[in-house]
Chain A
Amino acid sequence: MIMKRLMHIFLNLPLRMKFILSFLVVILFGGVLTLTLGTRLEHRTIFSLAQAKVRHDLASAWMVYNEKLSDIRDIIQLSSSQESIKDALQNNKKDVLLNYLSQVKNDFNLDVLNLTDAQGRILIRTSQPEISGDDQSGDSFVSRALRGETITATQIIPHEELMKEKGLAEQAYLKILPTPKAAPSPKEFEEDGMFLKAASPLIDGKGRILGILYGGILLNRNYEIVDRVKEIVFKGEKYKGKEIGTATIFQRDLRISTNVKKENGERAIGTRVSKEVNQAVLQKGKSWIHRAFVVNDWYISAYEPIKNIDAQIIGILYVGMLEKPYIDLRNKVMAKFAGMAILSVILLLVILFFITSSIIQPLQQMVNATKKIADGNLNHKVKINFQDEVGQLGHSFNQMTENLKKANEKLIQWGKTLEKRVEERTNELQEMQDSLIRSEKMASLGKMAAGVAHEINNPLTSILLNTHLMLEKVEKNSRLSENLNLIAEETSRCSEIVRGLLEFSRQNPPEKNFADVNEIINTTLGILENQVAFQNIKIIKKLSLNLPQIQLDINKMKQVFWNLMINAAEAMSEGGTLTIASRISENKKNIEIEFTDTGMGIPKEYINKLFDPFFTTKGGGTGLGLAVSYGIIEQHKGKIEVRSKEYKGSTFIISLPIS
């Protein structure tokens, strides 16, 4: 849900933000990952290196320690094998012995150098010759030397024994200082001392043990070994005023010899080992290599147990390297690393800014352009800076705008044409519909007319026959004869009307024949001219002399012209002018025949009904004349049109195709 929300917010951000955010996420993720992995790796490398070194240093420290031990052994063994000493012992020359041993003790800086008899009783205590005779056979060194062994090892000597030697109890005495992280201690001070000790029997020529010589140095407050270690291993290097390397000898968990310094610069003797190390080294006898908090600072340290002759753990040898240089090194590397990362991010962001700008700016332009185009400004163009994809997009965009403009213009043009076309088509449709209605009316009228014609012809036959029969019987030129002639004529006229109806009703294809339109006009006019209806009418003929003969039904065409001329005459009952014109149309495809009168004109509302069957404004007409004419012209694939102005007159135009 939240993811969705975040995604939604992200997707709605501006493009530039999207780019930058995406890159940042990638960079940060990558950076953090490499930083973490890198530091961890580097940390491990540095510390494993340090640990390896400290382990090695510890080994070096042991060498120094064991060398010292071996020195003591050599001194004791050498001294014990001196014939002069053996002689002096055998001869009980205590002075000689004391003298000699004191010299050895002084020469080799031994803290203790004592000689016992064959039972282990002290004969000479070099440091305090007054105290002698005490039995040392209980001492593990002495007891084993009595059995002929030469023994060297580290040993803790109890306070009571120290007291017998001069100054050693004081040297060994240590006040136990409170140490953080150390295990709690029940004691407040330490009175025992830790010795590097050797014991060797004095043996005569017969192999009898004459006595035991033993000696050693007290490690408490003796800094020779640790300082040597420091010098040999760490060469006395310092880091920010602090010794890089330190070494310590512990008597059990207590620092008795060390070059680790307290805050005040004093050696940190009297302090104790941390609880952790205590556990691992003193209790479990393991070596412990780790970073450790030593007195007041972190060290990479190595601890190993110091064992006595019976392999009991009695102390610890320690070397340590100050952790700080490594930490600082690590921090330096990390800082460099981070600095590089930050620099890269900044550099990337700058590059990103320019790249996004180069993309977004044209896009922004395009957005603006789109807005302008949407507002109808099709002339607007996008500026193209480079020929990359964005540039190509710009090109395409401009092309599109151009096309759009053209299409739009075309559309407008088309719209105009369409309007015109729709208008034209509407008119055509209207005409077609009118024509269809007319055709239907005519068809039904035709059926009726056929029936009527047939029925009327029979009575007409009777009338005509009988009239003529009567005429044959009456005197010619008599009044009755005149009357009968009139009946005969009218009957014939009826018959003509009926024939007209039949013509109309049949709608059979016209019997087409070559004919001269002018001749048909003249013939028709010839018959009509003398009629009463035409007496007040001036007739003007404007007939083109070079009309081609066209195929048409002459009789039907005559009928059409007849109808139109009669109509014209009737429209001009008060007199007027009938103009009859024939010509070839402008497109040379039709012959046009025009009948123009100067009569009353046709009211607008009648114009559309004019060609309908039975439409009539005259009292006596059948209303068939124009309908029949229309049908005939249609059968000839021609057109008949009327133009009229009320009170000015009308013009009927017939258009007949030439081929």
Chain B
Amino acid sequence: MNGETKRRILVVDDEINVCKSIRQAIESEEYEVETALSGEEALKKDAEKLYDLIITDLMMPGISGMDLLTSLKTVRPGVIVIIITGYPTIKTAVQSVKMGAFDYLPKPFTPNDLRSLVSRALKSAERKTEDSSLPPMPEDLFVMKGHTWVRDEGKHLVTVGILPEFLRSILSIAHLELQKENKSIFQGEVCARITDAEGHVHRVWSPVTGRVAQTNEKLKENLSFLKADPYGKGWLLRIESPDIEKDLESLSPLK
């Protein structure tokens, strides 16, 4: 790839050291990385350069990460935003994704964590433009945007699966790891891990809080169901959720 096809990434953090470290971690032949020390600066730079991906801290003086996300999404709905924060809560994570962020990464993180996410984010965007023929989505689902869907089965039981758009960015799935049965799990916590051919580990977040009632063992044997029948045989877990209504409130119902 030549310099012109390089993807442009903007890192926004009010601490210059963090900016520098992140740049070093992801700067490569594929990515051109720039930094901004405030939300205002970020908006200015983006207006000029139209970045492919913006990684922003959440807590900043002036325009906060959430404000920046909203502004960017209003101007350019297609922009990919990854939120990083040193003050992580499951709630902010879920909320930022609901607002249109691609994903969320709590500080501190390793270069690999970040690279996996960046790679998945950019690829997802590529695929989106290339092939828009995703399987049709049933209407009774709630989604944790970009990650998982959830179907209310009644009696506090829900089925959870991976959204096709999450898998879109992963070229080939090498391994699937599911949370074990009877394990307790929280909304926004990892409920599955997918390792791709490149060795990147992608964390899949649970859309609800509860106890794992059942795992889809058949899926482990035939991973193709994940992409072929994401809302059917490709389901991941059945979770017994004591407070499902509250959980669903923070999710988006399907359009």
Contacts and interface: CB of A to CB of B under 8 A. Distances in A.
Nearest to A460: B108
A492 B113 CA distance: 14
B111 A457 contact: no
A493 to B, nearest CB: 11
Contact of B108 (A455, A469, A495, A516): A495
Contact of A468 (B84, B89, B111, B209): B111
Contact of B24 (A455, A466, A512, A555): A466
Interface in A494-509: 495, 502, 506, 508
Contact of A458 (B24, B86, B186, B187): B86
A472 interface: yes
B242 A551 contact: yes
A491 interface: yes
Interface string B35-78: 00000000000000000000000010000000000000000000
B107 A469 contact: no
B63 to A, nearest CB: 17
A632 to B, nearest CB: 15
Nearest to A515: B184
B240 interface: yes
Given A513-B210, A514-B240, A465 B108 contact: yes
A459 to B, nearest CB: 7
B204 to A, nearest CB: 19
Given A472-B111, A512-B242, A554-B184, A461 B86 contact: yes
Interface in B206-229: 209-211
A596 B17 CA distance: 47
B112 interface: yes
Interface string B87-115: 11110000000000000000111111010
A511 interface: yes
Contacts of B88: 502
A228 B200 CA distance: 180
Given A458-B17, A511-B209, A554-B184, A468 B87 contact: no
A555 B107 CA distance: 19
B153 interface: no
Best-buried of A454, A457, A461, A519 by chain B (most CB within 10 Å): A461
B252 interface: no
A515 B22 contact: no
A551 B210 CA distance: 10
Contacts of A492: 108
Nearest to A464: B108
B59 A454 contact: yes
A453 interface: yes
Contacts of B90: 511
B211 A514 contact: yes
Q: How large is the interface on B (under 10, 10 to 19, 20 to 34, 35 or more residues)?
A: 20 to 34
Interface string A620-655: 000000000000000000000000000000000000
Given A466-B24, A468-B111, A515-B211, A506 B89 contact: yes
Nearest to A492: B108
A472 to B, nearest CB: 7
Which of A458, A488, A495 has its CB near the most chain B CB atoms (within 10 A)? A458
A636 to B, nearest CB: 14
A449 to B, nearest CB: 11
B18 interface: yes
A462 interface: yes
Contact of A453 (B20, B24, B86, B187): B86
A464 B110 contact: yes
A118 interface: no
Nearest to B87: A454
A577 B1 CA distance: 64
Nearest to A457: B86
Contacts of A512: 242-243
B25 A465 contact: yes
Task: Rank and list the top 7 A-B pairs by shortest CB-CB distance, nearest first.
Answer: A457-B86, A465-B21, A461-B108, A464-B108, A513-B184, A460-B108, A462-B17
Given A513-B211, A514-B242, 14 more contacts: A461-B107, A461-B109, A464-B110, A468-B25, A468-B111, A469-B111, A495-B107, A495-B108, A502-B88, A506-B89, A511-B187, A512-B243, A514-B240, A555-B186
Interface of A: 450, 453-466, 468-469, 472, 488, 491-492, 495, 502, 506, 508, 511-516, 519, 551, 554-555
27 contacts: A453-B87, A454-B86, A456-B86, A457-B86, A457-B108, A458-B86, A459-B15, A461-B107, A461-B109, A464-B110, A465-B108, A466-B24, A468-B25, A468-B111, A472-B111, A495-B107, A495-B108, A511-B209, A512-B243, A513-B186, A513-B209, A514-B211, A514-B242, A515-B211, A519-B182, A551-B242, A555-B186
